[in-house]
Amino acid sequence: MSKNLKKFGDFLKSLRIDKELTLRQACRLANYDPSNWSKIERGILPPPSDEKTLKNWARILGIAGNKKQIQEFIDDAKIAQGLIPQDILSQDILVERLPAFFRTLRNKKPTKKEIDRLIKLIAHS
């Protein structure tokens, strides 16, 4: 079980409980299989990747009024799946710099050229 799957599952469960919904009630509202929802909450199964489904879940779980919170919910689901959010992937300049960013996170020194490109990107953001 991945740490990110477990984290998202715990978060999903806490949202459902805060909304005072049983698992079956949430699944009825979301038109989703209770067995799969349970597996997601337990960190066994990744959340769906479909943003329409995730936005519906956000609405059902009470976070639909705030665009920033909805996007964070979707991003958390994507990270749990091991994916990079689509809005990041659609920006070619960011995708081009991701390898340097990942090396930096792993404490591997990026090249001078990669650092210069990152600085330039940050300066123009």
Please write the tens of the pLDDT for every residue from 13-67. 999 999 999 999 999 999 999 999 999 999 999 999 898 999 999 999 999 777 8
For the residues 9-13, what does the mean pLDDT come to? Answer: 96
Residue 62 sits in the same domain as residue 111: no
Residue 7 sits in the same domain as residue 48: yes
Q: Identify how many contiguous H helices and E strands the chain contains and give both numbers.
A: 8, 0
CATH number of the structural domain spanning residue 45: 1.10.260.40
Is the distance from CB of 70 to CB of 25 less than 8 angstroms?
no
Residue 23 sits in the same domain as residue 67: yes
Q: 84 pLDDT exceeds 90?
A: no
pLDDT band at 11 (very low <50, low <70, confident <90, very high): very high
Residue 44 sits in the same domain as residue 10: yes
What distance lies between CA 90 and its chain's CA centroid?
16
Residue 9 sits in the same domain as residue 63: yes
Q: What angle do CA 75, 40, 23 make, to 5 degrees?
A: 115
**Structural domain count, the chain:** 2
CA–CA separation, 65 and 79 (whole Å): 22
The per-residue pLDDT for 1 is 58
For the residues 66-79, what does the mean pLDDT come to? Answer: 87
Tokens of 13: 């469960």
pLDDT, the chain, mean? 86
Provide the whole-model pTM.
0.72
CA–CA separation, 42 and 83 (whole Å): 19
Comparison of pLDDT for 30 and 92, the residue scoring more:
30
The per-residue pLDDT for 101 is 74
